[in-house]
Amino acid sequence: MSVSVSGPAANVAAIPFPTGWCATDLGSLRPCASTYEIYPLESLPPLEAAHLDDGFDWLGGAGGPRSEHTEHLAAMERELAEAGLALPEGFAAFYGSERLCRAFDEVSVTACWSHLSGPLHSPAEEGARLVRFLRDQQDCVIWYLYLRPSGEAFVVFSPVELESAGWWAEGEPAEEVRAAVTSSLMRCADTFEEFAYRFVVENELWMQANSAGAESPLAPRLQAYAGHYASAAS
């Protein structure tokens, strides 16, 4: 679900964040010079065939028992509603599901873990909020859901822990530091499910490429993803 608001906040010009995909290697398909590298979005496999519609059918659907995040999500929804915002259905369904909410933690080969924050004020745009949902074990990179007053919701990442760095809300530090924090944000996915699909598939593909049974056939979704890189290399 998304909402639109009117008034000054809705009229703030949307910042065109720089884009990129922050991830590790995919074996020989996609090298990585360090733990993470930022890859151009246009270099990634297209996802049209995945039929992403906030239902997470590729993970077996979002039904079943409610997760431990249920009360936190409800409190977050109330706080966002006061600001004229709402969580997208896909995000609420994913973290509200006991079966889905640990999907990132279970597949991450760089020990990323889910860690939901409350709504955080954007340093970049009036009226916008960010919700941290995933972080690297050493906070090399942290992923946030970005919510705009227009109703747009997408995923960004940054090396900055915005919850701890909330000092800009009090007017500190100087404007140039606030600008530096803003410039650290990079847009990596247009929807939460798009991020989830890439994150899960890429980590599954890494494990397959680096396992003792790497010669076994890939699952269809992994084959389609790997095929993009194989085609680009040929």
> pLDDT (tens digit, 0 to 9) for every residue of the chain, 234 residues total?
222 233 333 444 688 999 999 999 999 899 999 999 999 999 999 998 888 999 999 999 988 899 999 999 999 999 999 999 999 999 999 999 999 999 999 999 999 999 999 999 998 999 999 999 999 999 999 999 999 999 999 999 999 998 876 554 455 555 777 788 899 999 999 999 999 999 999 999 999 888 765 567 888 899 999 999 988 876
- With a CB cutoff of 8 Å and minimum separation 6, the contacts of 112 are 104, 105, 134, 135, 136, 137
Q: Which residues pair with 22 in a beta bridge?
A: 38
Q: How far apart are CA 12 and CA 54, in angstroms?
A: 28
φ, ψ for residue 190, nearest 5 deg: -80, -20
Check: CB of residue 217 under 8 Å from CB of residue 224: no
| Max CA distance (Å), the chain | 58
pTM for this model (two decimals): 0.89
Q: Which residues pair with 132 in a beta bridge?
A: 144
Check: CB of residue 76 under 8 Å from CB of residue 87: yes
Q: Which residues pair with 189 in a beta bridge?
A: 155
